[in-house]
Amino acid sequence: MTLICLVAIAMTSLLFSPTSVSAHFFPSIASTPSGLNDITGPWDSFRNLSGFHAGDKSDGLPKLKHYLQHFGYLSNSKSNHTEDFDDSLKAAIETYQKNFNLNVSGELDPQTVHQIMRSRCGVPDIINGSTTMNAGKATPSYNGTNFHSVSHYSFVSGMPRWPNNKWDLTYAFRPENQLSNDVKSVFSLAFDRWSSVTVITFSQTESFYDSDIQTGFFVGDHGDDSPFDGLQGRLAHANPPTSGKLHVDDDEHWVVSGDVTAASSAFAVDLESVAVHEIGHLLGLGHSSEIDAIMYPSHPVRTRKVELTKDDISGIQELYGANPTYNGSSSTTPPAQNVGETSSSSAQKSGSPWSLKFNFGLGLLLLRMLL
């Protein structure tokens, strides 16, 4: 009888617990559903390459070369990569190390491997041989890479911007995702952070296919040659102007509200942090080597970074100019009432995939414990 009661309580909590994704509900990492901690990210195997250097050979190197090719560090001309740690790989790693403020050794030292394994934005760091990261700021004598334009730095080299008559942008959400208002409000806050410092404005519209910015959650290969890769790895990507595509990996454990640093999932990713970054791409910004900048490419789990830095602000203002109301502060926190509405309500409903996955997993865990 007691057992039946306990099961009933567990089922009731599964069915009626608030589905808002919030650390308030999942405060302890110990409550992560069993099995999740065994999941490996798509780049975890790079750990085995630690210590490799030029002249070595490994069957793990073709995958690393594919990674470096995707992010712009190796030429796109090759489709079959060898297992050799050759000179072009060494040069690519040197450029990568320069961009990520690492010791430029050209070797796969532990710090470099650790950085490569981190979850990050799917947008390449180097596009058409051009980068706004450190390697793009090299002196003319720098010749550590294959990329012909590394010594011709200009802030948005090759990056288009929205034309002057198109600075009041509309955005909409992919109807199939059926996103909750909670999730949509996270993007609204993220858009506000940029419009508070520059002249671009954003307004939500229901007309997805007519909107300037189209935001959607996708899984795996979704038809744009930039497939997502499950939990971790590539978190999201967005196109430069005037494409307006902002794609988010539906497989991540997105945290919509609450303290992501206290979230119960070891893989929790703060949605607003990633949204602010991707909107930077939508507006024409590339990646930055400033680790505190929003436009820094990687975003570790269980961290929150939503404040535009001077680096981000000077970049966007160089593209479009400053918002007349911008007071020069690097703080871009939206008005207090907006923040409160989003983060403090425990009665919110969320249709986000992670909340559903988590509650299902939590229910199974409870049932397993009880039975």
Active site residue 278: yes
Of 98, 161, 247, 253, the one binding Zn ion by CB under 5 A: 247
Tokens of 54: 């030029």
Own/partner pairs for 325-333, CB < 8 Å, 24+ apart?
Answer: 325/196, 326/196, 326/197, 326/198, 331/307, 332/193, 332/194, 332/196, 332/197, 332/307, 332/308, 333/193, 333/307
CB 288 within 8 A of CB 313: no
What kind and span of H or E run contains 248? Answer: strand 245-249
Q: Of 121 and 263, which has the nearer Cβ to Zn ion?
A: 121
Q: How far is the CB of 369 from Zn ion (least distance, A)?
A: 39
| 123 binding Zn ion? (CB under 5 A) | yes
Q: How far is the CB of 189 from Zn ion (least distance, A)?
A: 18
Q: Of 65 and 247, which has the nearer Cβ to Zn ion?
A: 247
Of 49, 92, 121, 189, the one binding Zn ion by CB under 5 A: 121
**How long is the chain?**
371
249 is in an annotated binding site: yes
Out of 107, 206, 278, 318, pick the active-site residue.
278
The size of the interface with Zn ion (CB under 5 A), counted in residues, is: 5
Q: How big is the CA angle at 235 (ends 310 and 333), to the nearest 5 degrees? A: 35
81 is in an annotated binding site: no
CB 272 within 8 A of CB 259: no
Q: Of 121 and 156, which has the nearer Cβ to Zn ion?
A: 121
Tokens of 103: 């010791």
Reported as half-sphere exposure (CB side, CA atoms, 13 A), residue 335 has a value of: 5
Q: Of 210 and 224, which has the nearer Cβ to Zn ion?
A: 224
| 224 binding Zn ion? (CB under 5 A) | yes
CB 118 within 8 A of CB 303: no
Candidate segments 11-19, 224-232, 265-273, 339-347, binder of Zn ion by CB under 5 A? 224-232
Q: How far is the CB of 211 from Zn ion (least distance, A)?
A: 16
192 is in an annotated binding site: no
Residues that bind Zn ion (CB under 5 A): 121, 123, 224, 226, 247
Specify binding-site residues for Zn(2+): 121, 222, 224, 237, 247, 277, 281, 287, 295
Q: Report the catalytic residues.
A: 278
